[in-house]
A = this chain, B = another copy of it.
Amino acid sequence: MATSLDLEGDVVDLLRRLVDVESVSGDEQQITDLVEQALRPYRHLQVSRQGNVLVARTELGRAERVVVAGHLDTVPIADNVPSRTTQEDGRTLVWGRGACDMKGGVAASLAAAAVLTAPRRDVTWIFYDNEEVEEQRNGLKRLAATHPQHLEAVFAVLCEPSNARIEGGCQGTMRVLVELTGVAAHSARSWKGHNAIHDAGAVLQALADHQPQQVVVDGLTYREGLNAVRVSGGIAGNVIPDRCEIEVNYRFAPDKSPEQAEAYVRSVLPGVPLRVTDVATGARPGLDQPAAAEFLAAVGGEPSAKFGWTDVARFSARGVPAVNFGPGDPSKAHADDEFCPGEEVVSCRDALVRWLS
């Protein structure tokens, strides 16, 4: 059994404690219990829980309310729990599953929630489950459906790793299935068939030759990607295959609707039989909104575009401008050598406190 969490002690120690409590998606009971026990004693927070989604609200009657949210789950452990630390050029690095994605952000926001007893704006702190798995299980999605008032705000910060810098909006993501069909035949008489795998050659070559777009939206540059992420075909070693499937993932800038994104894929693969199997719209950065501008000023630095899809799109879809802001390099998310610099946890906590004090 893990010991309780100290929200007002060393925030790097707090991150280590969070990493040491395994919380792979679907197994968030223990970490949610600990977070709940840690927040309940704070009289300035009104804590409620739905399953493994925890909401802590200040109710000071401020004119504005903001949301700060983060997920508690991680992808599966890869022999990287419990946590460990190393020193590098005077910096402390915390290693372990979830250190980067996104217990660093959770530690920063828990620490800020504890000390911000009288924030300038009311705050809704949200900690949720099942972000790393299929969308149907996502705790924030569930909360939006059952308790939409908890997502109401003038601005939202999602503590996904962003190197402690503001990353605006997020790209959309679309999954497309290319289904090629041929005619099966014995491979000793291949001319009697039509090889569906051979037809994949032109499709994959078109994807290989394609130069992804870079699109400027609200001042931020989004870099798209169009990639085959799976290919499969073949019946047996002596049969001309009559079927080949290619799954394509299109990451598209938030200026595009799903319809525009599909039209773009079709323009790259003209005449190819394909269908969209899944799509999630992106979120425009919305950094021109006043609430966002104020957050930018408090944090400092230059905002950049977020390439991956994140739950900021859930706020954006409700008209709430939202940004990603959290410690850790997003390219270390899900990596076996996942880590988070301790100083970025500190600076994120401090930025949140500075913004809301």
Which residue of chain B is the closest to A251 with respect to CB atoms?
Answer: B188
**What is the interface of chain A mostly: helix, strand, loop, or mixed?**
mixed
In the complex, A244 has a CB within 8 A of chain B: yes
* Inter-subunit contact A186/B231 (CB<8 Å): no
Q: Which B residues are in CB contact (< 8 Å) with A200?
A: 200-201, 204, 231
Report A142-188 residues with CB < 8 Å from chain B CB. Answer: 171, 173, 175, 185-188
Residues of B within 8 A of A191 (CB): 212, 223, 225
Q: Are the C-beta atoms of A237 and B244 separated by less than 8 Å?
A: no
The yes or no answer to A202 lying at the interface (CB within 8 A) is yes
Query: Which residues of B have CB within 8 Å of A119?
Result: none
From residue 222 to 254 of chain A, which have CB atoms closer than 8 A to chain B?
A: 223, 225, 227-241, 244, 246-247, 249, 251
CB of A334 closer than 8 Å to a CB of B: yes
Partner of A225, one of B171, B188, B199, B309: B188
Contact of A201 among B186, B208, B241, B333 (CB under 8 A): B208
Q: Tell me if A43 counts as interface (CB < 8 A to partner B).
A: no
Pairwise interchain contact B225-A229, C-beta atoms closer than 8 A: no
Instruction: Let me know if A116 is at the binding interface, CB within 8 A.
Output: no
Find out whether the CB atom of B223 lies under 8 angstroms from the CB atom of A229.
Answer: no
| Interchain nearest-CB distance for A163 vs B (Å) | 13
The answer to whether the Cβ of A203 comes within 8 Å of any Cβ in the partner chain is: yes
Whole-angstrom distance between the Cβ of A275 and the nearest chain B Cβ:
15
Select one of B185, B197, B229, B307 contacting A189, CB under 8 A: B307
**Copies of this chain, tallied across the complex:** 2
Question: Of residues A192, A236, A238, which shows the largest number of chain B Cβ atoms within 10 Å of its Cβ?
Answer: A238
Contacts of A331 in B (CB 8 A): 185-186, 189, 192
Binary CB contact string for chain A from 306 to 331 against chain B (1 if under 8 A, 0 otherwise): 01110000000000000000000011
Give the size of the chain A interface in residues (CB under 8 angstroms): 54
Asked whether A354 is an interface residue with its Cβ less than 8 Å from the other chain, the reply is no
Q: A232 to B246, alpha carbons, bound, how many Å? A: 10
**Per a CB cutoff under 8 Å, which of B189, B206, B234, B238 touches A232?**
B234
**Which residues of B sit under 8 angstroms from A230, Cβ to Cβ?**
197, 233-234, 237, 241
Q: Please tell me if A190 contacts chain B, counting CB pairs below 8 Å.
A: yes
A244 (CB) vs chain B CBs: closest residue: B231
Q: Mark A195-215, 1 if CB is under 8 A from B, else 0.
A: 101111111111110001000
In chain A, positions 257-316 with a C-beta closer than 8 Å to chain B are: 307-309
Quick check: A225 and B308 within 8 Å, CB to CB?
no
